Chain A
Amino acid sequence: MSDLTTVVDWSRLQFAITAIYHWLFVPLTLGLSVIVAIMESIYLKTKSEKWLLATKFWMRLFGINFAIGVATGIILEFEFGTNWSNYSWFVGDIFGAPLAIEGILAFFMESTFVAVMFFGWNKVSPRFHLASTWLTALGASISALWILVANAWMQYPVGMEFDPDQMRNVMDNFWALFSGIAINKFFHAVLSGWALSGVFVIGVSCWFLWKKRNVEFAIRSIKVGAWFGLAGMLLTMYTGDGSAVEVTKHQPMKLAAMEGLYHGHQGQSLAAVAILNPDKEWDNDEDEYLFEIAIPKGLSILGRHDMNAFIPGIADIINGVDINAEGDTINTVSYAERIAMGRKAQDALRTYGEAREAGDSAAMASSLKTLKENYRFFGYGYFKSVNEAIPPVGLTFVMFRIMVVLGSYFLLFFIAVLFMVYRTTLLQRSSWIQWIAMVSVPFMWVCSEAGWAVAEVGRQPWTVQDLLPTIASVSAVPATSVIVTFWLFALIFTVLLVAEVSIMCRQISKESKKALS
């Protein structure tokens, strides 16, 4: 393995582990902050002491998660500067501007209102306190907006023009950053945090029921958690549907990888349960699946909201074949052509630099023209074969199914919990149901992380879709330094996670012995 490949692999692994750990804390912050605000609103309306106690209990758990999770995301920015310097320079202000806004908002809005939220009881008016709690929740979501806008731009780069003098993409339309991909991604991620927090509240409350402590408090919390989680899950599914349409439009290779689909059809079925054939390649005649239970026309409905629409498979995309809404076969740009165009663009960029050094303005103009004509496939020029442009199909396929299966389970989970808590006393009486609820909590995190894996693994090999693959994005740093820092982070984040879980459990246990009703 060459040193460059090692740097790419370890840098990717390091970024993945940092993002995975960071995302353990973030969704709980996004959702629990809103749950706390809802409880405090009820308290202010009813003036009931029991809602005040519930608000303070969940606020303390929110505080633990917030404190342990704060600044874990900054590590990703360190990695951009050290391991991904080509990428960081290339994306210019487009990526930097949203991150800078996020940093300022996160710092000022959250740090100000979090302080009022925790220290302000009896020091500011109840209404101002409630406003601070809501603003903390809003601040967390606004922070997420900018991060997700930046991430969405990497998946669908728009609103910029490449400047070969600066070697940067320069933003020429700020509002273009709020693309359909960005909007869907934002709501999908934030609302999944609501669902996750709903499961967390139900799981913790079921522990109270199992211990037979503060039963009334637990039931009250379960009702809020279940309604909130159900709303979050339904909206997550709705925005997930929007994301599928956007992915079909702008990242068809990702959709094909999610399905393990090599040869698409009109009225394409969706593999509900399937085992991928490990021998299948885009250019051989092996079957796609060893076993499959399909939903007829499912993928066409999911991807194009049209049961007869054509969904291209990996081989179709590589060969540049598509079928339009009228049923006519159309040719898109094949991957072989994209590779040729990418190489032309890279040659033009090189000759542009040489002409600039020589002061040859005619050669500069000629190179610039060629560069602009071929720039949209700039990144394909790094591939020696089309195989390098295919994402890891197996991992994307499996992660998509984990996300969907667990997401569906949690939809039923919320409905079942609501039924049990309003119509029966099963939740109070049945310890095995309480255990199911408690054991479900970590699976919600698995579901959430699987969603990120689909989004990020499915877009490989790109850091910026069609323009910059990972192989060109990394810095010329020694592989050993990336390996050392990878293990350092793995250690630090594991310690933080153990601290979070142990402090949280200790706090829950301690609080459960107090009267919360």
Chain B
Amino acid sequence: MISRIIGSSARGLKNIWMFYYTGFREMTVGKTLWIIILIKLFIFFIVMKMLFFPNYLSSNFDNDKERADHVRHELTNR
């Protein structure tokens, strides 16, 4: 019973893998687009997010109480 479930799950995963694999292989203009997507995601998530867009409150304060106190100070002293 268990081996049958594992077998059918493995076949299902293999089918999904082949679906995407052959889909990507047969692409024409899609290859250029995927290169653009990957470069874009690298720039957005690795370069921009990590170097230029740290979460201000998460990176400057240790816990929610400190963050709330900071925001209270900001909102009542501007």
Contact = CB atoms under 8 A, between A and B. Distances in A.
Given A477-B56, A485-B52, A75 B44 contact: yes
B42 to A, nearest CB: 11
A168 B75 CA distance: 12
B10 interface: no
Interface of B: 19-20, 22-24, 26, 29-30, 32-34, 36-37, 40-41, 43-44, 48-49, 52-58, 64, 67-69, 71-72, 74-78
A60 interface: yes
Given A78-B53, A115-B23, A496-B40, A353 B78 contact: no
Given A115-B23, A349-B72, A349-B76, 16 more contacts: A67-B30, A67-B37, A78-B44, A78-B49, A81-B53, A81-B56, A86-B74, A89-B57, A89-B71, A123-B22, A167-B75, A168-B68, A471-B78, A472-B78, A485-B48, A496-B36
A78 B78 CA distance: 24
A81 B22 CA distance: 39
Contacts of A83: 56
A119 interface: yes
Interface of A: 4, 60, 63-64, 67-68, 70-71, 74-75, 78-79, 81-83, 85-86, 88-90, 115, 118-120, 123, 164-168, 346-347, 349-350, 353, 382, 471-472, 475-477, 481, 484-485, 488, 492, 496, 499, 503, 507
27 contacts: A64-B33, A67-B34, A67-B37, A68-B36, A74-B44, A78-B44, A78-B49, A81-B55, A82-B52, A85-B71, A89-B57, A115-B19, A118-B30, A120-B23, A166-B68, A168-B68, A346-B75, A350-B77, A353-B76, A382-B78, A472-B78, A485-B48, A485-B52, A492-B40, A496-B36, A503-B29, A507-B29
Contacts of A79: 53
Contact of A119 (B19, B37, B40): B19
A503 B32 contact: yes
A89 B68 contact: yes
Contacts of B64: 166
Given A82-B54, A472-B74, A472-B75, A499 B68 contact: no
